[in-house]
Amino acid sequence: MKKKNSSSSGLGQLLIPLVALGILIVFNLFRDISFFSITMRVNNSGNSVLAGNLISVIDSASELAIIAMGMTLVTAACGGQDISVGAVGAISGAVFVKVLQGMGSITVSSVIIGLVLCCLATIVFKLFNGTLVAVFRIQPMIATLILYSCGRSIAYWINGDATPQLNSPIISSIGMTIPGIPIPTPIFAVLLVGLLLFLVFRFTSLSLYTQSVGINANAARLNGINPTYIKLVSFILLGVCVSVASIIGVCRLGQLNHKTLLVDIEMDAILAVAIGGNNLGGGRFKLIGSILGAYIIQMLTTTLYAMNVAPVNVKAYKAIVIIIIVVAGSPVVKSKLTALWNRIRSGGPQNAQKEGVS
Amino acid sequence: MADKNRGARIRQREPLTDAQMLMFISIGIFAAMYLAAMLTLKGGFLKPQQIFDLLNDNAALIIIACSLTIVMIGGGINISVGGVIGLTVMSCALFLNKVGVESSFLSILLTFLLALGIGLGFGLLQGFLVSYLEIQPFIVTLAGMFLARGLTTILSVNPVKVQHEAFLALVKTKLKIDWLGYTAKNGNLIPAKIEIGAIVAIAVVVLMYLMLRYTKLGRSIYAVGGNRQSALMLGINVKRSIFWSYVISGLLSGLAGFVFLMHKPAGNASVAMRGEMDAIAASIIGGTLLTGGVGNVIGTLFGAMILATIQKIIALSPLNASWWQEMANGAMLGFFIILQSVVLSARSRGRAKRLTREKAAPQPPEDPPPSA
């Protein structure tokens, strides 16, 4: 009951992530103001690009933000999370590389064909997950546990043990920057995916249907919505997001490593969804919250790196900050804080009691 | 008398609950798989030692699977168990090396308490956050996993090998059973060997089974997982039950860490990596539902044994490559999950059909009217 209250108001859900982001920014302002400096720099391939911690935060959070959007949809519709996104991302990257290698030369058209084929392959795998969830009524986490445990092996099988290299200006312009445009391309990919989803929600009833299926699938069915179909659609959209993210991941490094591509991203994506104030039990959702969550996670990681924390130890500090964020966002703490705030505003506990009586 | 009859009639109509059904399916599958392995692979599978080996190698997995079953019955989830094992193993190994190589039994006891203490600490913190602050359990325990893994690497990035002699002697201590042994080719009798960890794991399964079935706390956990609102209305302290389920889970993960160290006396940053997923899979295969209220630790034991047997079979079969192993593992997991779902839905359909048939049939007269 309390959960509903906390997420019903429009800004209420976004308050905690916004405050968290704000605190991170203020913390960095006091720690080292040069964290925010943005400079123009010439990169290896001779293009002048924007550089700086802030740019690198927005740039390297791209895969996470894209997957978090898809994850939000699946969470909202199915009331559970897909933990196979990293493994399926590895498969999708393997398909992309395989197609490009099969075509021989890397041109714009071959990249587009690779994109389409890898999207299709990812959708097939996601439909497998989706069918288990929607038709066989298996809990999403368990249904996706199958591909979580064997997805990277399938990627290995597709591409062999090698880590194939992709050397081409087209690949680097997808993964890094297009010559002449100083902003990293992955940022545009986030904008594009976000815009697409926004348009889909704006001109169809998918958002409403997803929420109603997530809140009560049976009630939705009685109202003429097909829950199976809605759940499958959410998995298909997640599949598209995963394949875009995996292509960015492959192009960023210019190579495919099935062991490290999008590794552990499922946990971060679920975290982003939760930090964004979305209920992991399904129902109401806000895409913008999840995107904010993704940037908060990346901001945190980059801040920790800037503070010279060793990469393997980052997890511990991250955990502490996450616990603080979720404690601040918890319904109990929120209602206690609101009560305290009301008491302070009305001047002393006696007045508050009087107000309560009247 | 009449009441008793009525109870018997109701029991007859519903011979097995869904959870029991799932448990029996997993036991049956385990038996079938083991038989198939005995017939086709022969070798080690013909000896009783193989079962004990499975128990010895997977004692820690069985314990964390039990701990997950308890949390899942209460409607939550705990994905920090693998991380807690890693942290426990690392800190115990460092502690044992710090106290000196030839110190006494007391230091082993202290290590044991350290392991339980780490688990208890995680259990208390996570239980408090989940039950009293109403934060989503997935996120709390995900943070717990990050914390445990991060602390492990802060303690030491490099593998730490235990040098403590008394502890190494404890590692080598095994229960030997002569009559389950076999005669080697040179005529020597080799007794069946059971490690202490395996005995601890079985003890944990039995204890947790009794706890869930017969204590107030255990029954409250079932009630809370089944329907939180109804449990609240029945006067069950919902928050306290959930809190204790996480505390028990944390304690068991600490214990599992100690058991792991007794099996492989070395700390390593990648100990029990993905252990939580194996534990979840074991619970699910054993018939526990993630939605809560349904489950059984005996089923979990067999779930863990099924996973262990799959790995053993693949390791002994010609497809002995890690990626084949993972793929076969996934395929088998998928098979089980789909089988469970099909069986459950067939049963519920059968029940619905029976209900409609009973409704359609004319009600039989309850008692012959007392005619004159």
Report CB contact under 8 Å: B333, A146: yes
First to last CA, chain A: 24
Architecture of domain A2-308: Orthogonal Bundle (1.10)
- The token pair at B13 is 């109509």
pLDDT at B236 over 90: yes
Report CB contact under 8 Å: B134, A280: no
**Distance, in angstroms, between B338 CA and closest chain A CA?**
7
pLDDT tens digits, residue range B279-301? Answer: 988 988 888 887 888 888 999 99
Q: Which residue of B has its CA nearest to A156?
A: B323
Report CB contact under 8 Å: B135, A326: yes
**Is B204 contained in some domain?**
yes
pLDDT score recorded for residue B364: 54
**Distance, in angstroms, between B333 CA and closest chain A CA?**
6
Choose between B124 and B165: higher pLDDT.
B124
Count the neighbouring beta carbons within 10 Å of the beta carbon of residue B128: 16
The DSSP letter of residue A255 is B
**Is B5 contained in some domain?**
no
pLDDT tens digits, residue range B160-196? Answer: 998 888 888 888 888 888 777 777 777 777 788 889 9
Under the banding of pLDDT at 50, 70 and 90, the label for residue B61 is: very high
Q: What is the ipTM of this complex?
A: 0.84
A 47-86 residues with CB below 8 A of B?
Answer: 80-81
Report CB contact under 8 Å: B280, A146: no
- Do A159 and A93 form a contact (C-beta atoms < 8 A)? no
**Mean pLDDT, rounded, of chain B:** 85
Q: Can you give the CATH number for the domain in which B301 is found?
A: 1.10.3470
**Distance, in angstroms, between A209 CA and closest chain B CA?**
23
Q: Which residue of B has its CA nearest to A282?
A: B136
Backbone torsions φ then ψ of A175, nearest 5 degrees = -80, -30
pLDDT score recorded for residue B288: 87
Report CB contact under 8 Å: A145, B134: no
pLDDT at B133 over 70: yes
Report CB contact under 8 Å: A267, B142: yes
pLDDT (average), residues A37-65: 84
Most distant CA pair in chain B: distance in Å? Answer: 94
* Residues with Cβ within 8 Å of residue B17, at least 6 apart in sequence: B294
Under the banding of pLDDT at 50, 70 and 90, the label for residue A11 is: low
Report CB contact under 8 Å: A326, B277: no
- Do B249 and B71 form a contact (C-beta atoms < 8 A)? yes
pLDDT tens digits, residue range B265-283? Answer: 988 888 888 888 889 889 8
Residue A42's beta-bridge partner residues? A48
- The token pair at B206 is 């039995």
Q: Which domain range does residue B88 map to?
A: 17-343
CA distance B288 to B284: 5
Chain A residues within 8 A of B140 when measuring between CB atoms = 323, 326
Tell me which of B125, B135, B276 to substitute to probe the interface with A (most A C-beta atoms closer than 10 Å): B135
Chain A residues within 8 A of B147 when measuring between CB atoms = 315-316, 319-320, 323
Could you say which of A156, A270, A316 has the minimum Cβ distance to residue B323? A156
Under the banding of pLDDT at 50, 70 and 90, the label for residue B19 is: confident
pLDDT at A6 over 50: no
Count the neighbouring beta carbons within 10 Å of the beta carbon of residue B67: 32
CA distance A287 to A289: 5
Report CB contact under 8 Å: A132, B135: no
Could you say which of B135, B146, B269 has the minimum Cβ distance to residue A327? B135
Report CB contact under 8 Å: A145, B333: yes
CA distance A100 to A111: 7
Could you say which of A132, A319, A329 has the minimum Cβ distance to residue B143? A319
pLDDT score recorded for residue B165: 84
pLDDT at A161 over 80: no
- The token pair at B185 is 């080719």
Chain B residues within 8 A of A157 when measuring between CB atoms = 323, 327
Helices (H), A43-107: 53-60, 62-78, 85-103
pLDDT at A358 over 60: no
Q: Which residue of A has its CA nearest to B283?
A: A142
Could you say which of A142, A147, A271 has the minimum Cβ distance to residue B139? A271
pLDDT score recorded for residue B330: 83
In B122-214, beta strands by DSSP E: 160-161, 174-183, 189-195
**Is B350 contained in some domain?**
no
**Distance, in angstroms, between B151 CA and closest chain A CA?**
6
The DSSP letter of residue A39 is E
pLDDT score recorded for residue A9: 45
CA distance A290 to A279: 11
- Is A315 touching B (CB cutoff 8 A)? yes
Least confident window among A139-148, A157-166, B49-58, B255-264: A157-166
pLDDT score recorded for residue B148: 95
pLDDT tens digits, residue range B295-320? Answer: 889 999 999 998 898 888 877 777 65
Contacts A–B by Cβ distance under 8 A: 139
**Distance, in angstroms, between B144 CA and closest chain A CA?**
7
B272 Ramachandran zone, left/alpha/beta (phi>0; psi -120 to 50): left
- Is A331 touching B (CB cutoff 8 A)? yes
pLDDT tens digits, residue range B327-360? Answer: 877 887 788 788 878 887 888 888 888 888 877 7
Report CB contact under 8 Å: A139, B291: yes
Chain B residues within 8 A of A154 when measuring between CB atoms = 327
pLDDT (average), residues A46-55: 81
Tell me which of A278, A315, A321, A337 to substitute to probe the interface with B (most B C-beta atoms closer than 10 Å): A315
CA distance A257 to A93: 9
pLDDT score recorded for residue A226: 93
How far is CA A294 from each of CA A21, A276, A328, B80, rounded to the nearest angstrom? 11, 8, 18, 22
Count the neighbouring beta carbons within 10 Å of the beta carbon of residue B359: 8
Looking up tokens 């009859």, which residue turns up? B5
A 139-168 residues with CB below 8 A of B?
Answer: 139, 141-143, 145-154, 156-157
Cα atoms in the 13 Å half-sphere on the side-chain side of A65: 26
CA distance A345 to A350: 12
**Distance, in angstroms, between A170 CA and closest chain B CA?**
32
Chain A residues within 8 A of B303 when measuring between CB atoms = none
Choose between A185 and B6: higher pLDDT.
A185
pLDDT (average), residues A183-207: 92
Report CB contact under 8 Å: B133, A156: no
Burial of A260 (0-12, 13-18, 19+ CB in 10 A): middle
- Count of domains forming chain B: 1
- Do B265 and B245 form a contact (C-beta atoms < 8 A)? no
- The token pair at A341 is 């705030």
- Do A326 and B135 form a contact (C-beta atoms < 8 A)? yes
Under the banding of pLDDT at 50, 70 and 90, the label for residue B15 is: low
CA distance B322 to B320: 7
pLDDT score recorded for residue B71: 95
pLDDT tens digits, residue range A67-119? Answer: 999 999 999 999 888 999 999 999 999 999 999 888 878 888 889 999 999 99
* Residues with Cβ within 8 Å of residue A43, at least 6 apart in sequence: A49, A176, A177
Chain B residues within 8 A of A151 when measuring between CB atoms = 330
Residue ranges covered by each domain of chain A: 2-308
- The token pair at A96 is 């992309």
Report CB contact under 8 Å: A330, B135: yes
Long-range contacts of A209-216 (CB under 8 A, 24+ apart): A210/A73, A210/A76, A210/A77, A210/A234, A210/A285, A211/A76, A211/A283, A211/A284, A211/A285, A213/A77, A214/A75, A214/A76, A214/A77, A214/A78, A214/A79, A214/A282, A214/A283, A214/A284, A214/A285, A215/A282, A215/A283, A215/A284
pLDDT score recorded for residue B319: 67
- The token pair at B8 is 């018997």
Report CB contact under 8 Å: A326, B151: no
Report CB contact under 8 Å: A138, B337: yes
Under the banding of pLDDT at 50, 70 and 90, the label for residue A53 is: confident
**Is B9 contained in some domain?**
no
Chain B residues within 8 A of A333 when measuring between CB atoms = 133
Under the banding of pLDDT at 50, 70 and 90, the label for residue A8 is: very low
Could you say which of A138, A141, A281 has the minimum Cβ distance to residue B341? A138
Whole-structure pTM value: 0.86
User: Under DSSP, is residue B289 helix (H, G, I), strand (E, B) or coil?
Assistant: coil
pLDDT score recorded for residue B1: 46
Most distant CA pair in chain A: distance in Å? Answer: 79
- Do A175 and A248 form a contact (C-beta atoms < 8 A)? yes
* Residues with Cβ within 8 Å of residue B217, at least 6 apart in sequence: B211, B241, B244
**Is B306 contained in some domain?**
yes
Report CB contact under 8 Å: A137, B138: no
Could you say which of A149, A326, A332 has the minimum Cβ distance to residue B139? A326
**Is B351 contained in some domain?**
no
pLDDT at B257 over 70: yes
The full DSSP string for B74-118 is TT---TTHHHHHHHHHHHHHHHHHHS-TT--HHHHHHHHHHHHHH
Tell me which of A74, A82, A138 to substitute to probe the interface with B (most B C-beta atoms closer than 10 Å): A138
Under the banding of pLDDT at 50, 70 and 90, the label for residue A354 is: very low
pLDDT at A356 over 60: no
pLDDT tens digits, residue range B25-37? Answer: 889 889 988 888 8
Report CB contact under 8 Å: B142, A316: no
